[in-house]
Amino acid sequence: MIKRKTLRIGTRDSELATWQAKKVAQQLSKLGQETELVFVKSEGDIDLSTPLTEMGGKGVFTKALDDALLNDEIDLAVHSYKDLPTENPLPLKVAAVLKRADARDTLVAPGGTDFLEDEDYEAVIATSSNRRRAQWLNRYSNHTITNIRGNVNTRLRKVEENEWDGAIFAAAGLTRIGLGDHISQYLDWMVPAAAQGAMAIMIREEDLVLQRLLNDLNHQETELCTRIERDFLHDMEAGCSAPVGGYATIEDGTLHFKAVALMLDGSERFDFEVSEPAEEAGELGHRAAEELLKQGASKVIDEMSED
């Protein structure tokens, strides 16, 4: 067992981010490693009014933690993996991917979900995600999407305070901090964001000793699935704000991958879905992107570039 001085774990200060950092601290404690949490404010935490899509998407929640690592203010940073840009020009690396939680999206609807059965009802649904927006409008074209910002607790409060019919949340974010009772419906039909439900630990590239310690926390199946999803996202040249989703799972040695790209208004959709042996699926994310681009999904990326 490798043991170092007290490790400084960098994290955002929201309840969910703190929960995730404490989870890593607990796992390191089981290895006999002492830790302390260091709280860092990100641009996405400070600016709660600008829609995420207007803030550029990439690095909104991660840049401050990157800077803290580069300045040796922390030893490792804990992220929701879906927040990490697929391109990383910095001397930093993902050292471990923890076992994934529920990757699904969910609907929180304080007044119930009966309105979904009324084809003529013009519901108002809150989300700041273009991926969720496009998939929702593809399914419910007469609904209206409104923007919502803030951490999980803030967004739940906004749903209660406003006359919206519902808002879309990640299942993992709600259940990790004991708020799963707010879930009105699991959106099994919605393709999640790449790496949704997974946590990633970032360190400095040269820290080989810490890398060896963190190898014990890495979950290989989750690492493979999220890598395929992020390869797809990268090759689509689609950042965190793009209406693109990808989700890989492994069952009995078979990896199943589905991917989607949509126009922002949900009017056009491109799908990819395939299953193959997990040991042969390493390049599947790249192949999925190639196939969707052949179908014409490049217009999805072109639309994002025009904004």
CATH (domain of 299): 3.30.160.40
Q: The whole model's pTM is what?
A: 0.91
Q: Is residue 192 situated within a structural domain?
A: no
211 and 67 fall within a common domain: yes
29 and 173 fall within a common domain: no
CATH (domain of 121): 3.40.190.10
Across 229-233, average pLDDT: 96
Across 255-264, average pLDDT: 97
Catalytic residues: 83
Q: Is residue 1 situated within a structural domain?
A: no
Encode the chain in three state secondary structure. CCCCCCEEEEECCCHHHHHHHHHHHHHHHHCCCCEEEEECCCHHHHCCCCCHHHCCCCCCCCHHHHHHHHCCCCCEEEEEHHHCCCCCCCCEEEEEECCCCCCCEEEECCCCCHHHHCCCCCCEEECCCHHHHHHHHHHCCCCEEECCCCCHHHHHHHHHHCCCCEEEEEHHHHHHCCCHHHCCEEECCCCCCCCCCCEEEEEECCCHHHHHHHHHHCCHHHHHHHHHHHHHHHHCCCCCCCCEEEEEEEECCEEEEEEEEECCCCCCEEEEEEEEEHHHCCCHHHHHHHHHHHHCCHHHHHHHHHC
Q: Is residue 227 situated within a structural domain?
A: no
Does the structure show a pLDDT above 60 at 195? yes
Across 138-149, average pLDDT: 96
122 and 144 fall within a common domain: yes
20 and 140 fall within a common domain: no
Does the structure show a pLDDT above 90 at 240? no
80 and 160 fall within a common domain: no
Q: Is residue 95 situated within a structural domain?
A: yes
32 and 154 fall within a common domain: no
Q: Is 76 exposed, middle or buried (0-12, 13-18, 19+ CB in 10 A)?
A: buried
pLDDT of residue 55: 44
91 and 118 fall within a common domain: no
154 and 210 fall within a common domain: no
Model confidence at 54, in pLDDT bands (50, 70, 90)?
low
Which residue in the block uniquely carries the two structure tokens 């304080």? Answer: 110
* Chain mean pLDDT for the chain: 92
Rg (C-alpha) for the chain, rounded Å, is 19
Does the structure show a pLDDT above 80 at 5? yes
Q: Is residue 225 situated within a structural domain?
A: no
162 and 111 fall within a common domain: yes
According to DSSP, the residues that pair with 10 across neighbouring strands are 38, 77
Model confidence at 36, in pLDDT bands (50, 70, 90)?
very high
Q: Is residue 142 situated within a structural domain?
A: yes
18 and 159 fall within a common domain: no
Model confidence at 289, in pLDDT bands (50, 70, 90)?
very high
Q: Is residue 160 situated within a structural domain?
A: yes
Domain count, the chain: 3
pLDDT of residue 302: 86
Return the percentage of the chain with pLDDT > 90, whole number: 86
Q: Is residue 242 situated within a structural domain?
A: yes
Across 197-201, average pLDDT: 98
pLDDT of residue 305: 77
Return the percentage of the chain with pLDDT > 70, whole number: 91
Does the structure show a pLDDT above 90 at 58? no
Picking from 1-5, 260-264, 278-282, 302-306, which range would have the lowest pLDDT averaged per residue? 1-5
Across 231-246, average pLDDT: 87
Question: Which range marks the domain in which residue 250 is found?
Answer: 233-306
89 and 110 fall within a common domain: no
Does the structure show a pLDDT above 80 at 306? no
pLDDT of residue 81: 96
Does the structure show a pLDDT above 70 at 49? no
pLDDT of residue 127: 97
11 and 132 fall within a common domain: no
pLDDT of residue 46: 53
